[in-house]
Structure 1
C-alpha cells in the first residue's frame, strides 16, 4: 500500500525532510501591508517575507488556512492518484480551523475519489486518516517524524494512526517570543486577551521572556526568564536533559523566526546538538513558518519533542 503524508504549513519541519519524503503541504495565505504570501514552507517565500522586513507590522496580518475546497482539490487532483492512504497532520485544532476543514473535506474526497482513480487506471479503495498533533510549530514535528518512520517500516494505516495519535498526545512544544508588545498586539487583533498590557510593558522593561508550552491542545506559560539569550540556553539545556532521559521518537524539532545561523549561535545550542548525537536523536531544524512569525513575532524560538509525561521546572 502506498501511504503518503500531508501537513499543515504551520507544522515546522525542514524543507529537505518534506522533499525527501514527498510530504504534501496544505498552504496558508498570509496578507500583510498589501503583500500576499503563500505560506507552504518554501524557503524562498519565507526569505521574501524576512527581506520585506514586515515582522514589526505582522501583528495586523490576515491569515487564511486551506479551505475545505482547497483540501478537496489537493486530494482529488493529486493525492488520490499518488497514494492509497494519506495521513493528514495539522496543528492543534484549538488554535486553527484547518483540522476541521480537513475533516469536512474528507467526506467529499471519500465520496468522489473512485472515478478519479479509475480514470488513472488505479483500482482499490483510498483511505484518509486525520490527526490533530495537539501542538504548534516545532511541537508538531515529532508526530510528522513518527508518521514517516512508521511508513518506512511498513506499518498498516490503523496502527500508524494510533501510534501517531499517541505521539501527538505526548508531544511537548515550547516557545519563547522576543517581543511581548508584538505578542500582545497580535493577541488583541485576534481577540485573545491572554497577554495583558501590563505584562507586556513589564516584560519589555525588565527584559522578561515567558516560556510557553503547547501540550495536549492547550497553550500556557510555564516559566519566565530574564533575557532572550538566557532563555534560549534554559530551553536548550532542558531539551538536552529530556533527550538524555529518552524520547518516544528519536527526533527533536527546532524552529526559529529568522536566520537559522542566529539560532545556532545561541548559548546551549551546541550542547544540545551533542546530546542528540550521543543519543542517536535526529535534530530537525527549520525556519518558523510565515504564519508562525506573524502570530508570535520574528525571532521566536520553538522546540518540540515527544516524551513520557513529566513536570518541567524552569
Structure 2
C-alpha cells in the first residue's frame, strides 16, 4: 500500500525536506496589486518575491484557494495514478477555503477514480482523506513531518487518520507578527475581527512587538517587547528550554518571512540549533512561503513544536 501526503502552500517546510519525502504541494493563488501568481512553494520563486519587494507592505495582497474543480483535476492527474491511499492536510478551515474545496474535490474523485486508475495501470482501490490541520504555517509543517513518521510505521488507514487528528491538538505555536497594522488591515478585508484596532495602534505608537502563543490558531499575546529582536529572543528561549524538557515528536518547525542572511542572524537561533542537535531533534528551518507571508505579513516569524500541556512563561 503506497501512501501519499498532500499539503497546501500555507504549510511551511524546508524545500529539501519536502522533496526528500515526496510531498505533494496543493497550490494557492496569490493576487498582488492585481497580478496573479501561483504559489507552489518553489524556493527560487519564493526568493525572487522577497528580493523584488512584492511582499512588502503598501501592496494589496490576497490569497485565494484553488477551486474544487481545479483541485479535482490535480488529484485525478497526480494523486490517483500514483498512490493507493492519500492524506491531504490543509491549513485550518477557519482561515481558508482550502479544506472545503479539497473535501468537495475528494468526494468527486472517489466517485470517478476507476477509469484514471485503470489507465495508469495501478490495481486495487483508491482511498483518500482530507484533514483539517487546525494549524497555520510552521504548525502545519510540524504536523506534516509527524504524519510522515506515522506513515513509515505502516499504520492502518483509520489508525493513521485518528493519530493525525489527535496529534494536531498537541501542537503549540509561537507567532511574531512584524507589523500589526498589516495583519489587522488584511483581517479587516477578510471580515476577521480577531486583531483589534487598539492593539494595532499600540503596536505602532509604542513600537511594541507582541509574541502570540497557543495551540493551533488560538494564539494570545504572552509577551510585549520593544523590538522584533527581543521578541525573537523570547521565542528562542522558550523553544530551547522546551526541547531540553522533551517533545512529543523529534521536530521543531520554524519559518521566517526574511531573507536567508537575516534568518541566520536571528538572536538565539544557534542556541536552539545546538539544543536540537543535543536532544536528537530535527530543526525544520524554512523561509516563510508566499502564502504565509501574505497572510501574516513580511518579516514575521512562526515556530511550532508538540509537547504536553504547558504555558509559555513556564520556559522563560
TM-score range, shorter chain: over 0.9
Partner Cα separation in structure 2 for residue 158 and residue 86 of structure 1: 12
Structure 1: gaps spanning 5 or more residues: none
Partner Cα separation in structure 2 for residue 64 and residue 106 of structure 1: 19
CA offsets, 1:141-186, max 9 Å, x none?
2210111112223223222222211221111121101112222222
Q: Check the 8 A contact 1:8/1:89 in 2, yes or no.
A: yes
1:40–1:167 distance in 2 versus 1, CA, 3 Å: same
Aligned length: 314
Which one is further off, 173-182 or 48-57?
A: 48-57
Residue aligned with 1:284, SS: strand
Partner Cα separation in structure 1 for residue 264 and residue 309 of structure 2: 28
CA offsets, 1:73-92, max 9 Å, x none?
11111211110001111111
Partner Cα separation in structure 2 for residue 58 and residue 110 of structure 1: 43
1:219–1:92 distance in 2 versus 1, CA, 3 Å: farther
CA offsets, 1:254-291, max 9 Å, x none?
10102133122111111111110111000001111111
Q: Which residue of 2 aligns with 1:238?
A: 238
Cα offset for 1:201? 2.6
Residues 4-153 of structure 1: pairs in structure 2 closer than 5 A = 4-57=4-57, 60-153=60-153
Partner Cα separation in structure 2 for residue 163 and residue 22 of structure 1: 21
CA offsets, 1:177-228, max 9 Å, x none?
1112222222222222333333223212322112123524534333322211
Q: Which residue of 2 aligns with 1:197?
A: 197
Q: Which residue of 2 aligns with 1:218?
A: 218
TM-score by length of 1: 0.95
Cα offset for 1:292? 1.4
Partner Cα separation in structure 2 for residue 162 and residue 194 of structure 1: 30
Cα offset for 1:140? 1.1
Residue aligned with 1:81, SS: coil
Q: Which residue of 2 aligns with 1:157?
A: 157
Partner Cα separation in structure 2 for residue 260 and residue 48 of structure 1: 12
Q: Check the 8 A contact 1:141/1:305 in 2, yes or no.
A: no
Q: Check the 8 A contact 1:59/1:295 in 2, yes or no.
A: no
1:304–1:4 distance in 2 versus 1, CA, 3 Å: same
Residue aligned with 1:213, SS: strand
Structure 2: gaps spanning 5 or more residues: none
Partner Cα separation in structure 2 for residue 304 and residue 216 of structure 1: 9
Q: Check the 8 A contact 1:175/1:302 in 2, yes or no.
A: yes
Q: Check the 8 A contact 2:87/2:128 in 1, yes or no.
A: yes
Q: Which residue of 2 aligns with 1:258?
A: 258
Residues 167-182 of structure 1: pairs in structure 2 closer than 5 A = 167-182=167-182
Cα offset for 1:97? 1.1
Q: Check the 8 A contact 1:258/1:299 in 2, yes or no.
A: yes
RMSD across aligned C-alpha pairs, in angstroms? 1.7
Q: Which residue of 1 aligns with 2:309?
A: 309
Residue aligned with 1:4, SS: strand
Cα offset for 1:32? 0.8
Partner Cα separation in structure 1 for residue 259 and residue 62 of structure 2: 24
